[in-house]
C-alpha cells in the first residue's frame, strides 16, 4: 500500500502526528501510528474513518492518556464518527469518569494541547533546518517522498500493511570498496554504508572486474549491495541511473530476468523523476518485454504514450517494427529484425524467438509440401544448419523425405510435421512465464 493511495485526510492526520512527536515519544508514537493504520487497512476503513478525530494515546499528556474515555477518539474499527446528538441522548452516569467531560477541564486541556503542539512545531522546524543544512553539503540527494524507502529493497513502500516512517537521511562512512549483499533486518548504521565517493569507485571496479570475466553471481551480489547503499542514503541522480542501467545490461547478457526486471522497474521511476539516462534504449527493451509477455493491453497503452522524439530513436523504432511484424505475421521481417537488433535487444528477443519460430513453422508446413533444411536455417535465423536440425528434433518435427542425406540436402516433409508442431506450441508456448515480472 503506497502512501500515494491514502485518502487526503489520512495524509493530513499523519503529518499532524509527525509534527507533534518529540525525541521522548517518537518511538512509541510511531509504533502506535503504524498499528492504527495497519488495523484500518485490514478492516477496510481507510476511506471511512474520520481521521481528524483520531487521537494517538502516546501523543497525549500522560494524565490524559490514562483516561479510558480517550479510547472514544480512536474510531478505527467501524470507520464512523461518534455523533454528538447520540451522546446527549445517552449521558454517562454519575460515578463514572464523567468529570472528564466538564467544560472547564476540556478547555484547559485544549489550551495545553495547543501549547504542546506549538512547542513541537518549533522543535520540528529546528530539525528541518538542520536537515536542510546537511543536504546542502550533499547535492546528490533527491527529495524523498512522504515515506522512507524500505531499507531492504530498491523500491519504496512495498509492505502493504506497515508503512515506513520518515527519518533523516543517513550518510555512510564505510571505506570498503566491495561488500556482499545482505538483507537488512534493522535500520542501517552509517559505518555499514559506503558514502557516495566510495560507491563511485565501487562501480568503476565492478566494470573492470566484469571485463575481466568475473563470476556473475559475485558481480550481481556487489551490484545489489551497491543499489542498497544508494537506496538507504536516498541518492537519486545520474549516477544512480547509471548503476541500474549497467546492472540491467549485465543481467540481460546472462539471462537473469529477475534482476533485469527489478532494475527496469526502478529505472522507470528514476526517468519519471526527470533524471537523465538511456531512456530510449530502455524504452525499447520495455516494448520487447511486453511483446515477450504478449501483454497487448499494456503494450498498446505504453506505445500510445511514446513521444515523437522517442519514436524516432533507432532502438525504439526497431522495437516498434518487431511489434508490427508480429502483429502482421511477417516472419521474414521478424527474423531479419532479430539478426539486426540494436544494443541488447536480441538478448530479450532470445526469450521469445523460439516461440515465434514454431509459429512460423506451423504456417510454413501448411503452405508447402516440402522445405529444405537449409531454407529453414536461413529463414528462421539459426546460427548453423546443425542448430536448425536440433531444433526440429527437440520439437518433434524432424520428418525428412531423405533422412540419410547430409544436413545441407535434407528435405522436411511438411504434412507429418504440422500436427506435432501444433501440439508442442500448445504444451510449451501457449502460456508465458516471465521471471521477476513487474
- Residue 433 pLDDT class (50, 70, 90 cuts): low
C-alpha cell, 153: 529493497
Reduced DSSP (H G I as helix, E B as strand, rest coil) percent helix, strand, coil of the chain, to 5:
65, 0, 35
Report the pLDDT value the prediction gives residue 370, as an integer from 0 to 100: 92
Percent of the chain with pLDDT strictly greater than 90 = 47
Check whether 422 has a pLDDT greater than 70: yes
Report the pLDDT value the prediction gives residue 51, as an integer from 0 to 100: 82
Under 8 Å between Cβ of 373 and 393? no
| Cα–Cα distance list, 191 to 51, 195, 229 (Å) | 40, 10, 11
Cα 225 to chain centroid distance, Å, stands at 17
Average pLDDT, the chain: 79
- Residue 136 pLDDT class (50, 70, 90 cuts): very low
Burial 148-167 (b: 16+ CB within 10 A, else e): bbbbebbebbeeeeebbbee
The region of weakest confidence among 7-11, 21-25, 133-137, 298-302 is 133-137
Query: What average pLDDT score do residues 284-298 get?
Result: 91
- Residue 151 pLDDT class (50, 70, 90 cuts): very low
Check whether 405 has a pLDDT greater than 70: yes
Return the biggest CA–CA distance within the chain. Answer: 106
Query: What average pLDDT score do residues 29-37 get?
Result: 87
Percent of the chain with pLDDT strictly greater than 70 = 72
Looking at per-residue confidence, does 124 or 28 come out higher? 28
Report pLDDT digits (tens) over 46-95. 888 888 888 888 888 765 544 444 444 444 444 444 444 344 444 444 44
Report the pLDDT value the prediction gives residue 356, as an integer from 0 to 100: 94
Report the pLDDT value the prediction gives residue 226, as an integer from 0 to 100: 95
Report the pLDDT value the prediction gives residue 27, as an integer from 0 to 100: 84
Residue 261 lies in a domain: no
Q: For 380, which DSSP code?
A: T
Angle at which helices 257-272 and 216-232 pack, to 10 degrees?
Answer: 30
The span from the CA of 370 to the CA of 407, in Å, is 15
Long-range Cβ pairs for the range 215-220 (8 Å, 24+): 216/250, 216/254, 216/256, 219/250, 220/247, 220/250, 220/251, 220/256, 220/259
Report the pLDDT value the prediction gives residue 241, as an integer from 0 to 100: 96
Report the pLDDT value the prediction gives residue 338, as an integer from 0 to 100: 96
Report the pLDDT value the prediction gives residue 23, as an integer from 0 to 100: 77
3-state secondary structure of 60: coil
Report the pLDDT value the prediction gives residue 412, as an integer from 0 to 100: 93
Report the pLDDT value the prediction gives residue 125, as an integer from 0 to 100: 53
Residue 21 lies in a domain: yes
Check whether 166 has a pLDDT greater than 80: no
Residue 107 lies in a domain: no
The span from the CA of 264 to the CA of 250, in Å, is 12
Residue 76 lies in a domain: no
Residue 63 lies in a domain: no
> How many distinct structural domains can be found in the chain?
1
The span from the CA of 224 to the CA of 214, in Å, is 16
Report the pLDDT value the prediction gives residue 148, as an integer from 0 to 100: 39
C-alpha cell, 283: 524504452
Specify the residue for cell string 533523516. Answer: 168
Query: What average pLDDT score do residues 276-304 get?
Result: 92
Burial 382-405 (b: 16+ CB within 10 A, else e): beebeebbebbeebebbbbeeeee
Query: What average pLDDT score do residues 368-389 get?
Result: 94
Q: Count CB-CB contacts under 10 A for residue 335.
A: 21
Range of the domain at 24: 8-52
Looking at per-residue confidence, does 127 or 307 come out higher? 307
The region of weakest confidence among 101-105, 249-253, 394-398 is 101-105
Residue 286 lies in a domain: no
Check whether 324 has a pLDDT greater than 80: yes
CA neighbor of 162 nearest in space, from 252, 39, 311: 39
Check whether 350 has a pLDDT greater than 90: yes
Residue 368 lies in a domain: no
Report pLDDT digits (tens) over 224-260. 999 999 999 999 999 999 999 999 999 999 999 999 9
Residue 321 lies in a domain: no
Specify the residue for cell string 524523498. Answer: 144
Amino acid at each position: 500500500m503506497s502512501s500515494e493511495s491514502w485518502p487526503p485526510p489520512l495524509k493530513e492526520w499523519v503529518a499532524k502526528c509527525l509534527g507533534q512527536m518529540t525525541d521522548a515519544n517518537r518511538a512509541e508514537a510511531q509504533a502506535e501510528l503504524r498499528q492504527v493504520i495497519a488495523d484500518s487497512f485490514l478492516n477496510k476503513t481507510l476511506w471511512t474513518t474520520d481521521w481528524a478525530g483520531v487521537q494517538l494515546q502516546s501523543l497525549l499528556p500522560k494524565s490524559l492518556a490514562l483516561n479510558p474515555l480517550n479510547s472514544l477518539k480512536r474510531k478505527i474499527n467501524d470507520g464512523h464518527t461518534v455523533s454528538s446528538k447520540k451522546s446527549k441522548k445517552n449521558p454517562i452516569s454519575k460515578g463514572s469518569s464523567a468529570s472528564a467531560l466538564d467544560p472547564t477541564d476540556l478547555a484547559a486541556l485544549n489550551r495545553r494541547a495547543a501549547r504542546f503542539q506549538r512547542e513541537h512545531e518549533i522543535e520540528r522546524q529546528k530539525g528541518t533546518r538542520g536537515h536542510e543544512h546537511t543536504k546542502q553539503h550533499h547535492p546528490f540527494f533527491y527529495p524523498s517522498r512522504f515515506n522512507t524507502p524500505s531499507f531492504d529493497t530498491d523500491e519504496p513502500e512495498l509492505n502493504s500493511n506497515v508503512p515506513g516512517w520518515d527519518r533523516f537521511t543517513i550518510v555512510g562512512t564505510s571505506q570498503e570498496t566491495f561488500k556482499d549483499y545482505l538483507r537488512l533486518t534493522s535500520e542501517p548504521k552509517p559505518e555499514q554504508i559506503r558514502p557516495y565517493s566510495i560507491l563511485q569507485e565501487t562501480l568503476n571496479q565492478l566494470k573492470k572486474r566484469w571485463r575481466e570475466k568475473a563470476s556473475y553471481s559475485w558481480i550481481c551480489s556487489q551490484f545489489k549491495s551497491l543499489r542498497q547503499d544508494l537506496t538507504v542514503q536516498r541518492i537519486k541522480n545520474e549516477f544512480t541511473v547509471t548503476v541500474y542501467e549497467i546492472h540491467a545490461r549485465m543481467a540481460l547478457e546472462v539471462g537473469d530476468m529477475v534482476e533485469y526486471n527489478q532494475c527496469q522497474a526502478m529505472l522507470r521511476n528514476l526517468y519519471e523523476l526527470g533524471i537523465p539516462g538511456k531512456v530510449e534504449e530502455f524504452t525499447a527493451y520495455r516494448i520487447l518485454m511486453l511483446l515477450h509477455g504478449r501483454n497487448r493491453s499494456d503494450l498498446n497503452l505504453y506505445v500510445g504514450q511514446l513521444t515523437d522524439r522517442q519514436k524516432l530513436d533507432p532502438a525504439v523504432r526497431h522495437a516498434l517494427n518487431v511489434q508490427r511484424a508480429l502483429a502482421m505475421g511477417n516472419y521474414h521481417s521478424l527474423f531479419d529484425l532479430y539478426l539486426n537488433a540494436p544494443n541488447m535487444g536480441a538478448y530479450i528477443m532470445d526469450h521469445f524467438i523460439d516461440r515465434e519460430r514454431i509459429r512460423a513453422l506451423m504456417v510454413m508446413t501448411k503452405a508447402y509440401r516440402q522445405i529444405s533444411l537449409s531454407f529453414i536455417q536461413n529463414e528462421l535465423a539459426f546460427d548453423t544448419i546443425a542448430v536448425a536440425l536440433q531444433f526440429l528434433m527437440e520439437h518433434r518435427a524432424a520428418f525428412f523425405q531423405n533422412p540419410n542425406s547430409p544436413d545441407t540436402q535434407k528435405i522436411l516433409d511438411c504434412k507429418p510435421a504440422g500436427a506435432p508442431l501444433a501440439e508442442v506450441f500448445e504444451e510449451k508456448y501457449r502460456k508465458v512465464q516471465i521471471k521477476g515480472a513487474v
